Amino acid sequence: MSGLYEFASRWTALTPYLLSLLRIVAAFVFIQYGTTKLLAWPGAIIPGGGTVPLMTQAGIAGLLEMVGGSLLLVGLFTRPVAFILSGEMAFAYFIGHAPRGLWPVLNEGSGAILFCFIYLYLSAAGPGPWSVDAALRRPRVELSN
């Protein structure tokens, strides 16, 4: 039994790093929603190809996804950015998915719900140790002559 407790203890010690990994992977995937809308990269999602106009609902969403996702990817201003993106995903779900039916698996809203709650969690938990935010909080060592 002691082997199980030791494993659990070591696994638990990885929690902060897994938090950073969750933030990085979620942001990497999220950025792609913005780049497909604004840059048609890695592919176009607009029927017939192309991009969405910037000053539209989809354009603003794409901008939030691309810029906010990039900030989350590096872990800069993580808490406020994650909170804003959580709200964006809540709006996306209720505006774009919920009117098409109750069940997320059928209305294609599963991604919006997961991003909403992952980002809500990150807004409370923070970025983890692998982030610009964490690097900026580290005490600086003063060298004296």
Q: Is 118 exposed, middle or buried (0-12, 13-18, 19+ CB in 10 A)?
A: buried
The larger pLDDT score, comparing residue 48 to residue 85, is at 85
Looking at residue 4, what is its pLDDT?
A: 87
Prediction pTM value: 0.91
Backbone torsion region of residue 43, taken as left when φ is above 0, otherwise alpha when ψ lies between -120 and 50, otherwise beta: beta
What does the DSSP 8-state code read for residue 134? H
What does the DSSP 8-state code read for residue 98? G
Give the pLDDT confidence of 41-80 residue by residue, as tens digits: 999 888 888 999 999 999 999 999 999 999 999 999 999 9
Q: Count the domains in the chain.
A: 1
Give the pLDDT confidence of 123-133 residue by residue, as tens digits: 999 999 999 99
Residue 27 domain-assigned (yes or no): yes
Residue 65 domain-assigned (yes or no): yes
| 131 three-state secondary structure | coil
Residue 145 domain-assigned (yes or no): no
Range of the domain at 78: 2-137
How many Cα atoms occupy the beta-carbon half-sphere of 34 within 13 Å?
21
Looking at residue 138, what is its pLDDT?
A: 84
